Structure 1
Amino acid sequence: MFAIYIDDLSHFFDRGGSVLYIVFFIAFFLWGLLIDRFVYLYFTFKKQRKEILQNVKTNSYDQKFIQEIQTHIVEDIRLQLNDGLDFIKTLIIVCPLVGLLGTVTGMIEVFDVMAIIGNGDVKSMANGVSMATIPTMAGMVIALSGILFEKKLETTINYQIDKLDLEISKVI
C-alpha cells in the first residue's frame, strides 16, 4: 500500500518537471521553520517565561529604572520570538514565484514539442501543459497554507509578548 503512494508521488513529480523538486525543497524548508517556531513558542518559551518572571520577582530594581528594565526584557523576548519570521515570510513569497518558473519551463516544453512535430497535436503537448500547471498549483498551495500558519504564529507571538509585558508589570 505504501508503494502505491510512492509510485503516485513519483508520477506527480515526473509530470511536474524539475521545478517541482525546487518547490518541494522550499516547502520542506518552510514547514521545518514553521514547526521549529511553534515548538519554541509552545514549549521552550513557556519555560523561559517562568524563569523571567521568577527572576523579576526575586530581584529588587531601583524604581527609576523599572520601566526601562521592563521594556528591555520584553523587547529581548520579542526579538527571540520573531527570530526567523521574516525568512518564513520570504519563503512564502518565493513559493508561487518558483511555481511560475515551472509554468515558463512547461510552456517552453510545449513550444519545443510544437517545433519538433510541426503541428498542434494535443497529445504530444499534454506533457508540457502538465509541466506548466503542476508547479504553479503546488507553489500556490504551499504559499496559501504557509500564510495561514505564519499569521497564526505571528498572532500568537504578539499575544504572548503582550501577556508577558502585563505579567512583568504586575510583578514589578
Structure 2
Amino acid sequence: MKTIVRSLLFCSALLFMAACENEPVVSNTPGSEMNKTENTVFDVSNACYTTDLMAGQFYLAGNVYVKMDANNVYVIYNAINDWKIKATHLYVGACNLIPQTSTGNPIPGKFPLATNNPSGVQQVVYTIAKSGLGDCFCIAAHAEVSRPGQSETAWAKGDNFPGNNWAMFFSICKSNCLDEEQH
C-alpha cells in the first residue's frame, strides 16, 4: 500500500512540475485534436509576416505572425507584457469569403477556426494546409484579450473592413512568404 501511495504522490508531483514549467500554449490544427495544450512556445523568429495585435483599437496587446513551410501556413497569436489571450477566431482563405454582415462588418463567431482559453494563454498557433489556399489569400485574426483590470476585443492590424467598425484583415501571397526550403 505504501508503494502505491508513494507512486501516486511521485506522479502527482511530476504532473504538477510539468504543468508549472512553462506558460501553456494552445495549438489548433484543423483535422487533429483541437485546442491541444503544449508546454513549448512556437518559434516566430523567422516569420515572413508580422503585424500588431491591437486591443480596443489603441492598445498593443501582442503580435500576429505568419510562417510557411512546404505544406502548411502557420498563424501565431502572441500576447506581450501582461496581456493574455482568452479566445481567438481566425479566417484564412479567399478574401471575398470572409464571413460578414450585409453592411460589411465581419462576424468572428462564424470564422471557421476558434479557441477558447478562459484562464488566458500567451500564444495560440494555428496550422492550415497550404494546398487549400490560392497563391494570395486573406487572414482575419480576431481575439479576446485581457490584462489585470481590462478586457478588450483585438484584431490583427491590416486593412479595414467596409463596415462601420474598426475590425481589420490583411492579405498575403505564398510567393512573398517563401518557406525555409526555398531560401
Pick 1 or 2: higher relative contact order, CA cutoff 8 A, min separation 6.
1
Q: Please identify the structure whose Cα radius of gyration is greater.
A: 1
TM-score range, shorter chain: under 0.3
Calculate the TM-score normalised by the size of structure 1. 0.21
More strand by share: 2
